[in-house]
Every structure is written in structure tokens, then in C-alpha cells.
């Protein structure tokens, strides 16, 4: 309560996420200001935040730096500070070298260090305290993602009056994998502090409930758990549901209809030497994305002579990510070595096999790139959702193009008219690429139209509305609602 007294300003709707919805930009005169971050979550929540007098609690991205709360675009920004050691232990360590690989089916081996866990706990407590201090009586709080799984329970302990939602943006693994985590009880209990726990896929929600049953020994009825305190008194009912996230489909389509963006798309194709087919990969440079598998399939198709440099080009945008984490450094070396080899082998004086770009680009340029491409390659080995798949579809206002989509991405549950593939099966991946390249226009358009309808109906706005509606509902009633 003391923190509440110090800060009289209180909010009815509070989002809590590892990252703030704003990025610092420094102009030519060295002056710093804040700009809204790109990305779906901010876009989705901005209208809700403005309408509901909202605050956003998060880290500003720089170690050892205190930033005072401020308002931006009608959103109250509440910065949480992390020390250099915490960035190392909580963010790069426990979040991204323990939980991230564990939750993505141990594609790389998770590391378990007690010092990381201590830091994770402490930082989660700091986020919970900061949230408790700015949340008004009876406010709705929406906690985001795997970096903050202990916050729901910590927050409920401090503020039982709050409605607490949690959304996990990444997969939740089967119990056989989750059970490796030395602090598995604590994480499950942390999450169960929420009234509603949202997941990308129905299978993630049932993996979570399976873990709650097997590890905590709780009884589950219709995806609900009766959570009790130490004395065995019922505190609340916690529910797990699937709420697949989406994109602002209208904004993407609007951008794709802009003549400047369309001209830019043509220019991109010219820049590649006007090949017949442009294949595209767009990912954070992450080992979950299966970039190596995709390169291998493309390389073999060139080797076999089924594709030819000049006729086909692969553009791979790999945006820099978590660059101080060891596995990410190794991955970068590996991918760049492979790209170098493929290009050394197959490039001609006038054309390149793989145009590799280790950059992030503004939204406009991405939409132009989607439009410029014929075949999108999503080969994730495991992915919570994969919004790139949805963006590619939404950008194709001409209904041209083919989407190759890994079965292991959450998006595959919804985009059933994509060319679905198991990316581990290199031969199948090669066949899918050839199928995409040769697909008759009418067939490609038929598939694209169905997928476009899916995404424009289920956009990000609907995602947040549906989650928040369920969060505010009485658990007894929501048990009878059907999933869509």
C-alpha cells in the first residue's frame, strides 16, 4: 500500500510486458524521444488503452538506467529498471536461455542455473510491485508472455481485488518436456494466479492443464482449476483458453494498396534481376525458425537443377535478435557460412541465389517485399503463432502468391489452405517449393482468398476484444462458451 500512496495516479487497465510499447529514437542533434514500437501487441491494445485510461508497465531496453514515468499517445508509460546483471540473468539467461528453448521443444538445450532463477523471481516481483502501485481498485491487468510468468500470483497476493489475465505468446510444451524445469511448481503456481490464461493454440492450453494436473496434482474440470491458498481455502477459479493472436489486417492491406508501396515492390524485383520466382523468408534470426532447413532445401533444388539462379531467387531477411546470447551468435555464424557457401557455388555475375539481409526494415518496406514475392517460406521448427505468415497473406491484395507453412507454427491451426509442411522432411519441403512455384494461378488465388478471409475476420482487434471479454466473464458462464 505504501507504493500506492506515493503514486496517486491509478489506472483501470494495465498491460504488463517485458518490453514497453515505445522505442527510444535519437535524432541528428542527439536529442532522444520515444516512438511507438512496431508490432501487433501495441497496435491491438492502443485503442483499448486510450479508451480505458490505460497504463503499460515494461522495461525500456537499456541496462542500469532509470526512466521516469511519462505519457505517450494517451498511454501512461511505467518503466521498470533492470541492472546489467539482471539483463544477463533474467532476460538473456532465464528468459532466453532457459524458458525459450524449453518451451520450443528443446531445439537447443535449455540451461538451468539457480542464479538465473533468483534473478527471474526478483525481476518478476519488481514488475508485480510496479503494477500493484498503478492499478486502480478493481482494475483489469493483462500480463504478457513467458518473461513474466510469476507476476499473476505475486500480483494477486498484493491485490486480490484485481482481474488478472495472462497471455503466453509462445508455445506451452508437453508435460514430458516442461517437467525438466527445476522450478516447475513455482511457474505453474505463478500462472495460476491469473483468472484467465490465454494460449495461442488449443494444444498449448491442454499441455498447460496437463502439467497442472500431473505436476501440481490439481483436478481440472472443463479447462478450469479451483485455486486454493495454503489453508485450502478457494481463492479463485483459473481458466485456460486458446486465443490465437493476429495482425492488423486492414492496416497491412491499406499499405499494400498504396501506389508507392506497389512501385517499390516492382523496384525490389528489378533489383533482383527480375527473376521468374521470388521466394521469401522473414524471421528474427532465431534457431526456432528453421532457416537452415529452408536454405538446405533451396540449395538442393539448385543442385538438382530443378531451380536455377536467375530464374529463382531467395530473399532471406533475418532481423538481428538477442545478439549477446551464445546460441544466437552460433546460429548467426552457421547461417552466414551456409549462405556464403550457397552463393559461392551458384551465383552468376548478374544474379544471386540468396539475397541475405541481416537487418530490420520499416513496415512499409516489409509490405513491399511481401508484394514483390511469389512464395513465402515459413519453416519454423516450433513457433507460438508466426505473424509473418499472416502478414504475407494480408499483403497480397492481388490474391497472388503461395504460402508454405510449417505444421509446427501456431498459424497452421488456422491457415489450413497454406501448403503445410514438416520442415524436418527436406524432401517434402523441396516438393512443396516446387508445387508452390508451379501452382496454377487460379488455384493459388483460391487458396489465398480463403486465407485472406480468415485473417480479415480474425484480426488482432478481435483477439484482444475476445480475450478481455472472456477475462471479464464469470468463469461459470464461460465454461459453456464454444471456441472459435
Chain residues binding ligand G6P by CB under 6 A are 19, 145, 169-170, 321-322
Choosing from 248, 286, 383, 459, the catalytic residue is 383
d(CA 288, CA 318): 13
- Check if the beta carbon of residue 217 is closer than 8 Å to that of residue 184: no
d(CA 454, CA 389): 12
Q: Which is nearer to ligand G6P, 127 or 298 (CB)?
A: 127
Q: Where are the alpha helices (DSSP H) in 193-258?
A: 202-216, 249-257
Choosing from 89, 169, 346, 351, the catalytic residue is 169
Residues ≥6 apart with Cβ < 8 Å to 308 = 302
Q: How far is the CB of 387 from ligand G6P (least distance, A)?
A: 8
For 171: left if phi > 0, alpha if psi spans -120 to 50, otherwise beta; the answer is beta
Give kind and range of the element (H or E) at residue 429: helix 426-438
Q: How many residues does the chain have?
A: 484
Q: How far is the CB of 444 from ligand G6P (least distance, A)?
A: 29
Long-range pairs, 60-63, Cβ under 8 A, ≥24: 60/20, 60/22, 60/24, 61/19, 61/20, 61/23, 61/24, 62/24, 63/87
Q: How far is the CB of 144 from ligand G6P (least distance, A)?
A: 7
Report angle CA 151, 154, 158 to the nearest 5 degrees. 130
Told to judge if 169 belongs to the known catalytic residues of this protein, a careful annotator would answer yes
Beta bridge mates, 237? 226
Q: Which is nearer to ligand G6P, 270 or 329 (CB)?
A: 329
d(CA 79, CA 77): 6
Q: Which is nearer to ligand G6P, 288 or 352 (CB)?
A: 288
d(CA 79, CA 129): 12
d(CA 306, CA 34): 49
Residues ≥6 apart with Cβ < 8 Å to 328 = 285, 286, 287, 321, 322
Q: How far is the CB of 92 from ligand G6P (least distance, A)?
A: 9
Q: Which is nearer to ligand G6P, 108 or 220 (CB)?
A: 108
- Check if the beta carbon of residue 456 is closer than 8 Å to that of residue 249: yes
Q: How far is the CB of 288 from ligand G6P (least distance, A)?
A: 9
Q: Which is nearer to ligand G6P, 146 or 183 (CB)?
A: 146
Q: How far is the CB of 316 from ligand G6P (least distance, A)?
A: 18
Output the residue with the shortest Cβ distance to ligand G6P.
169
Q: How far is the CB of 166 from ligand G6P (least distance, A)?
A: 13
Q: Which is nearer to ligand G6P, 165 or 275 (CB)?
A: 165
Q: Which is nearer to ligand G6P, 170 or 353 (CB)?
A: 170
Told to judge if 60 belongs to the known catalytic residues of this protein, a careful annotator would answer no
Residues ≥6 apart with Cβ < 8 Å to 426 = 293, 296, 297, 300
Give catalytic residue positions. Answer: 169, 383
Amino acid at each position: 500500500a505504501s507504493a500506492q500512496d506515493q503514486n496517486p495516479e491509478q489506472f483501470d487497465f494495465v498491460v504488463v510486458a517485458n518490453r514497453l510499447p515505445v522505442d527510444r529514437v535519437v535524432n541528428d542533434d542527439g536529442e532522444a524521444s520515444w516512438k511507438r514500437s512496431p508490432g501487433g501487441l501495441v497496435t491491438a491494445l492502443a485503442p483499448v488503452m486510450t479508451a480505458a485510461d490505460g497504463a503499460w508497465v515494461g522495461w525500456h531496453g537499456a541496462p542500469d538506467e532509470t526512466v521516469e514515468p511519462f505519457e505517450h499517445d494517451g498511454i501512461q508509460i511505467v518503466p521498470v529498471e533492470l541492472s546489467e546483471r539482471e539483463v544477463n540473468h533474467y532476460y538473456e539467461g532465464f528468459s532466453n536461455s532457459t524458458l525459450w528453448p524449453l518451451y520450443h521443444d528443446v531445439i537447443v538445450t535449455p540451461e538451468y542455473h539457480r542464479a538465473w532463477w533468483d534473478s527471474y523471481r526478483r525481476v518478476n516481483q519488481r514488475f508485480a510491485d510496479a503494477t500493484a502501485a498503478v492499478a486502480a481498485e478493481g482494475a483489469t491487468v493483462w500480463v504478457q508472455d513467458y518473461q513474466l510468468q510469476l507476476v499473476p500470483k505475486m500480483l494477486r497476493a498484493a491485490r486480490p481485488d484485481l482481474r488478472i489475465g495472462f497471455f503466453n505468446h509462445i508455445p506451452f510444451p508437453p508435460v514430458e518436456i516442461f517437467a525438466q524445469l527445476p522450478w516447475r511448481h513455482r511457474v505453474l503456481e505463478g500462472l495460476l494466479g491469473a483468472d484467465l490464461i490465454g494460449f495461442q493454440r488449443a494444444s498449448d492450453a491442454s499441455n498447460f492443464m496437463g502439467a497442472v494436473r500431473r505436476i501440481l496434482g490439481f483436478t481440472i474440470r472443463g479447462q478450469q482449476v479451483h485455486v486454493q491458498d495454503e489453508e485450502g481455502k478457494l481463492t479463485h477459479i483459473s481458466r485456460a483458453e486458446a486465443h490465437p493472436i493476429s495482425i492488423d489486417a486492414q492496416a497491412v492491406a491499406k499499405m499494400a494498396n498504396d501506389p508507392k508501396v506497389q512501385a517499390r515492390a516492382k523496384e525490389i524485383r528489378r533489383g533482383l534481376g527480375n527473376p521468374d520466382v521470388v521466394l521469401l523468408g522473414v524471421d528474427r534470426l532465431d534457431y526456432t525458425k528453421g532457416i537452415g532447413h529452408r536454405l538446405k532445401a533451396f540449395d538442393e533444388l539448385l543442385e538438382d537443377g530443378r531451380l536455377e539462379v536467375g530464374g529463382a531467387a531467395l530473399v532471406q531477411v533475418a532481423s538481428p535478435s538477442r545478439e549477446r546470447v551464445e546460441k544466437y551468435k552460433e546460429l548467426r555464424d552457421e547461417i552466414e557460412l551456409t549462405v556464403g557457401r550457397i552463393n559461392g557455388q551458384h551465383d552468376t555475375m548478374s544474379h544471386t541465389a540468396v539475397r541475405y539481409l541481416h537487418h530490420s526494415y520499416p513496415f512499409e518496406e516489409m509490405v513491399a517485399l511481401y508484394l514483390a514475392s511469389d512464395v513465402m517460406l515459413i519453416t519454423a521448427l516450433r513457433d507460438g503463432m508466426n505473424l509473418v505468415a499472416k502478414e504475407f497473406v494480408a499483403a497480397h491484395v492481388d490474391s497472388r502468391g503461395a504460402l508454405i507453412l510449417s505444421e509446427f507454427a501456431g498459424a497452421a491451426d488456422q491457415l489450413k489452405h497454406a501448403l503445410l509442411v514438416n520442415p524436418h522432411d527436406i524432401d517434402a519441403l523441396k516438393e512443396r517449393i516446387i508445387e508452390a512455384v508451379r501452382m496454377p494461378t487460379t488455384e493459388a488465388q483460391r487458396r489465398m482468398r480463403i486465407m485472406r478471409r480468415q485473417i480479415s475476420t480474425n484480426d488482432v482487434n478481435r483477439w484482444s476484444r475476445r480475450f478481455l471479454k472472456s477475462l471479464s466473464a464469470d468463469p461459470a458462464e464461460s465454461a459453456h462458451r464454444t471456441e472459435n
